[in-house]
Amino acid sequence: MEYSVLQGKGETGARLGRLSTAHGTVETPAFMPVGTLGPVKGIDPADLEQLGFRLMLNNAYHLYLRPGHKIVAEMGGLHRFTGWSGAILTDSGGFQIFSLAKLCKVTDEGVSFQSHLDGSTHFITPETAIEIEEALGADIMMAFDHCVALPAEREVVRDAVRRTTLWAERCQASRRRRDQALFGIVQGGLEADLRVASARDLVGLGFEGYAIGGLSVGESKAEMYAMLDVTVPELPASKPRYLMGVGMPEDLIEGAARGIDLFDCVVPSRHGRTGSLFTSFGRVVIKQARYVRDEQPIDPGCGCPVCARYSRAYLHHLFQVKEMLSSRLNTIHNLWYFADLMGQVRSAIAQGRLRSFREEFYRARDQAVSDDSVADAAEDDRRRPHTGWN
């Protein structure tokens, strides 16, 4: 993997970059769709390619449990197994172990837990995590980290930071394949000094890239952005920066403005399956009765194949009758929106107008909210952040 900065800091901390892998090149800032078990739910690899995505995320924890990393390796690795020709990043599974597994016990040696699927007992160490990810064969692997739920006592967070650094060292030492990049993950909860310390420790270990983990887990947006403000300046400008599990549209804009290069989240597909559709003016909740006779596309200004062909009335009908096509079409639309949004963000950065783009984004959404055209959107999603820019 190679990463190059094409355009550095301008009016904000934003930058344009290019991430080159054995399976293609990714222009950054970029959003990664999440294919937890291989595919993005209901979406074919060809769909992702046509939507413009060149990098997706698979989850090592889930693939370890089923079908098993050894089976994936026997089948030629994730690319051959899934039919996806683009680049793949695998999350080590640390977050899923702490959030999904039962009876999770953490020591410096590793984590013992019971599977959320069948209660079977497992023990994962940093060395095991690397073994799993190398078997899966992704272009980019994530180091095994200790992610704590928020809010958390300072001493709990401090211990997690210490353990994350310890495990990162062991991940580095246990690598056998050098054709896969390895990213370290910064932890530290909402403790600014611990975030800085974690970042400095990991930078000292010399990873190919750096992720910021443990955010978007219940804290406010202002708190999340504040942690980015103190963490990103500690990360090398020459290496890619990845904000893990964060993916509301405003978060992509705010993150990119602070120098984040990569994002991932289940938002486009999960919201699609529940009938919440992203548009240039906010969100359309397609299950609402107001759309039963609406002949308009989801977003008249959208160029996606769904908006080119289907009315809100038809999509409302599909959702109401629980037709499986509903989830597929809604997800395709949402993924198009996210791909297009990131393209607009890159263009705004290149033209030195990200500030004005940000203001236009909030103005359009705030106007839609005041017109009651996107009812049912969560207040937290609508609230404009009050933190500054770098």
Let me know if residue 322 belongs to a domain.
Answer: yes
Let me know if residue 335 belongs to a domain.
Answer: yes
pLDDT of residue 369: 66
pLDDT of residue 370: 56
Let me know if residue 94 belongs to a domain.
Answer: no
pLDDT above 90: residue 377: no
Q: Is 284 helix (H, G, I), strand (E, B) or coil?
A: strand
**Average pLDDT of the segment spanning 64-84:** 98
Q: Is-above-0.75 flag for pTM?
A: yes
pLDDT above 70: residue 371: no
Mean pLDDT, rounded, of the chain = 93
141 torsion bin: left (phi>0), alpha (psi -120 to 50), beta (else): beta
For the annotated catalytic residues, the residue numbers are 91, 264
Our count of domains for the chain comes to 1
The residues, ordered by sequence, that sit 6+ positions from 69 with a Cβ below 8 Å of its Cβ are: 60, 63, 131, 132, 133, 135, 136
Nearest-5° Cα angle at 249, 93 to 39: 40
Let me know if residue 102 belongs to a domain.
Answer: no
**Nearest-10 crossing angle of helices 154-174, 192-203:** 10
**Average pLDDT of the segment spanning 128-147:** 97
pLDDT of residue 390: 34
Let me know if residue 32 belongs to a domain.
Answer: no
pLDDT of residue 8: 86
Beta bridge partners of 113: 122
**Count, residues in the chain:** 390
Let me know if residue 362 belongs to a domain.
Answer: yes
Q: Residue 368 belongs to what domain range?
A: 271-382
User: Which of 124, 123, 120, 121 is CA-nearest to residue 133?
Assistant: 124
Let me know if residue 188 belongs to a domain.
Answer: no
Let me know if residue 318 belongs to a domain.
Answer: yes
Beta bridge partners of 204: none
**Tens-digit pLDDT profile for residues 307-335:** 999 999 999 999 999 999 999 999 999 99
